[in-house]
Structure 1
Amino acid sequence: MFSELAIKLQEYLEQGLNLAVAQVIDREAPCSSKVTDKAIILETGELVGWIGGGCVRGIVIKEALEVIKTKRYRKVRISPEGGESSTNNFKNYIMSCQSGGTVEVIIEPVFPLPEIIVVGKSNIARKLAILAASADFKVTAMAKDADQHIFPLAAVVSDHVDFSGIHNFNNTYIVVATQGEDDEENVFKALSTSADYVGYVSSKKKSKQIKGYLAGKDLSSERIALLKSPVGFDINAKLAGEVAISILAEIVKDFRTEQTEDTSCCGSSKEQKEQVKKAVESNDKFSEEYYINPVCGVPVSKKSPKHVIEYQGESVYFCCDGCKVSFEKNPAQYMKG
């Protein structure tokens, strides 16, 4: 099982997919999980491997999606007594399965190597490509007449700017350093992708001009506002290498920064519930087996729920007594949409 998961893990990382790895670190009988059982959980909610069935599987999937989002590991304990204690790195859940038992799982985020796409062949672009490659980033260089001599450490070099062949922008950072060569067109192309980070090397005056140009294009104001320009930390940089250092430092900080979460009932924010629901609905097999508890957002196995309530012709499944009680107080609040 371990070798099979290792092969799958490598395949997913080569595809540029973000994922989480879960491992059972402790258990008390009776339960189907065994210590060292492992599984890979994708952003789609798909689980490959084994860490237990029923409520354990649903809870681990839910928490794994949050681990991927926050980039923060988490330890989960599922037991009959449950509990209220929880921190950013620990969650307590009630074991709602009839089999009982206790399971402790550690869930860790795993990401492919981040990629920097450098657009342009200016001195700053060349220096940034060298520094990024030295910092173990995958580097793609795009510029008119660009070649491997100009970007010797880049993994991919394109002699034109075209993002259409890139289908996954997970952990991808685009920096436009054309510095006067088709700036407007290249920034527009970069922002037209789904990359979360797009930076543009420019002065404050040029940055204002480019945003005015973008306002007349088919881009939302929210997307334009995400453009980082001027890009990089203000370190009073003067030389091209110093500017490149400031840009790379900003990118490293962004990649390594853990995201925070705003949780409510059972440790689930509204955003997280929607994230889990979307993941379940996109996976037919998972959708048939699980129902999203409308109160806490935990995927509940339809075969072994703690409670089932009929509401307006629909069976609503719950993982614990607390969720059932909260739902009964105001079902309409939880069943919106």
Structure 2
Amino acid sequence: MTRNETDDGGSDEPVRRDATDGDVSELERELTDRGEAYARVTVVRREPPVSANVGDRAVVTTDGELHGWIGGAACAQTTAVDQATAAIEAGEPRLIGIAPDPDTVDRSGLEAFPMRCHSEGVLELFVEPVDPTPELVVVGNSPIARSLTRLATELAVDVTVVDPEGADDLPADETVTATDPATVADAVGPSPLVVVASMGQYDARGVAAGLDADAEYVGLVASDARSDEVTERAAALLDTDPETVRAAVTNPAGVDIAAHTPAEIAVSILAEVVDARTAAGTGGRRAPAAESETTADDEDEDVHADRDHEGQDNHDHENHGSHDHEDHDHGTGDPDAVDDLATDPVCGMAVDPETAAATVEHDGRTYHFCCEGCADSFESDPASYLNDGETAPP
């Protein structure tokens, strides 16, 4: 008898069929490679007459398709599919029993359903949802992005960093050195979790890449004012409506925990990422995107966009610390003037010592900051922002 045939004749002996476990295993590998959730359904008990053996298994996809073999006619398989899709949605395994009289199999830890097939018999199935390891894409090499990458290693996620400089000192599983949205979207897996924290260097490209990759979550570290600008630029890159982009992006990224330091902000973002992953289940959201040509001028505009500290509310600046530090043109017209800039040791932003928002003296050195928040963070714990042997900034 082949796998597609059934035995409803009432024999007490298990039916022997051609094994197709290899086919199911191959399908599981394919689904995992595509990052698609599914449920594995395994026969753990049977009573004749049913055409299934203990150990037979099937795969149920999110759209309710059953592949493999668990015996039973359409009535039993319908129950199995319904319970499998529910398990995928809930993210929790379950044990179900299907019998002519559900009370005969009902017990603690098992949910019983009626066997409505004329052939009757009993099936007990273990339904196990399988959700491939999610991918966290961190766009940027800012202090917040670096803290986020390091802390994410404690979670069950694969971490991909998007950094043109290809930083190799971070514990990332993959590094993408391109910033073109389509290239980044092709390089990452399906439905990733994306955090854009490049501090203006390529924020718009990171947001566009997240939407193009059908990300379950796109978080942006920026002020409200800068978020509007990033949204406009990302919408132009995707050739779509800015409101569609705005609705798909969470800004400021992170839950409100009064975070100030890069590490604290990273913790708040990871908390939101975990929550978003749980809430999203197997779904994702996507802004419609069209193929667009990305030019060097576009990149230059992203890199040199004006920064904006106004309108930062909630936990974006003073309460959150995720203020937006776009690399910008200081208006000098002299490229050598960049050499006279200091570096804010907290956020990494270039600061003109003459117009710095705050300065702090430490160990005989003067440090310049873009804002009072960075100065306060540094003053509370200078050692966490300084490297051994570091020289004083200009």
TM class by shorter chain equals 0.5 to 0.7
Partner of 2:254: 232
Q: Are the equivalent residues in 1 in contact too, given 2:40–2:129 (CA < 8 A)? A: yes
Q: Alpha-carbon deviation of 1:64?
A: 1.6
Query: What is the 5 A alignment of 1:1-337?
Result: 4=22, 9-10=28-29, 12-54=31-73, 55-81=75-101, 92-149=112-169, 152-161=170-179, 162-166=183-187, 168-170=189-191, 172-211=192-231, 218-219=240-241, 221-256=243-278
Q: Are the equivalent residues in 2 in contact too, given 1:116–1:140 (CA < 8 A)? A: yes
Q: Partner of 2:71: helix, strand, or coil? A: coil
Q: Partner of 2:186: helix, strand, or coil? A: coil
Q: Partner of 2:35: helix, strand, or coil? A: coil
Q: Are the equivalent residues in 2 in contact too, given 1:79–1:102 (CA < 8 A)? A: yes
Q: Work out the CA distance in 2 between the residues paired with 1:221 and 1:79.
A: 52
Q: Are the equivalent residues in 2 in contact too, given 1:23–1:107 (CA < 8 A)? A: yes
Larger Rg: 2
Bigger proportion of residues as strand: 1
Q: Are the equivalent residues in 1 in contact too, given 2:199–2:222 (CA < 8 A)? A: yes
Q: Alpha-carbon deviation of 1:123?
A: 1.1
Q: What percentage of aligned pairs have identical amino acids?
A: 31
Deviation string for 1:65-86 (max 9, x for gaps)? 2322332323333233469xx9
Paired residue type of 2:94: R
Q: Are the equivalent residues in 2 in contact too, given 1:121–1:146 (CA < 8 A)? A: no
Higher relative contact order (CA 8 A, sep 6+): 1
Deviation string for 1:31-80 (max 9, x for gaps)? 22333432222335443432113122233223322322332323333233
Q: Are the equivalent residues in 2 in contact too, given 1:147–1:158 (CA < 8 A)? A: no
CA RMSD of aligned residues (A): 3.2
Q: Work out the CA distance in 2 between the residues paired with 1:99 and 1:243.
A: 60
Q: Partner of 1:144: helix, strand, or coil? A: coil
Q: Normalising to structure 2: TM-score of the pair?
A: 0.56
Classify 1:122/1:37 alpha carbon distance in 2 versus 1 (closer, same or farther; 3 Å): same
Q: Are the equivalent residues in 1 in contact too, given 2:139–2:163 (CA < 8 A)? A: yes
Q: Are the equivalent residues in 2 in contact too, given 1:71–1:258 (CA < 8 A)? A: no
Please, which runs of 5 or more residues in structure 2 have no aligned partner?
A: 1-18, 283-394
Partner of 1:316: none
Q: Work out the CA distance in 2 between the residues paired with 1:14 and 1:259.
A: 18
Equivalent residue pairs, number: 253
Q: Are the equivalent residues in 1 in contact too, given 2:216–2:276 (CA < 8 A)? A: no
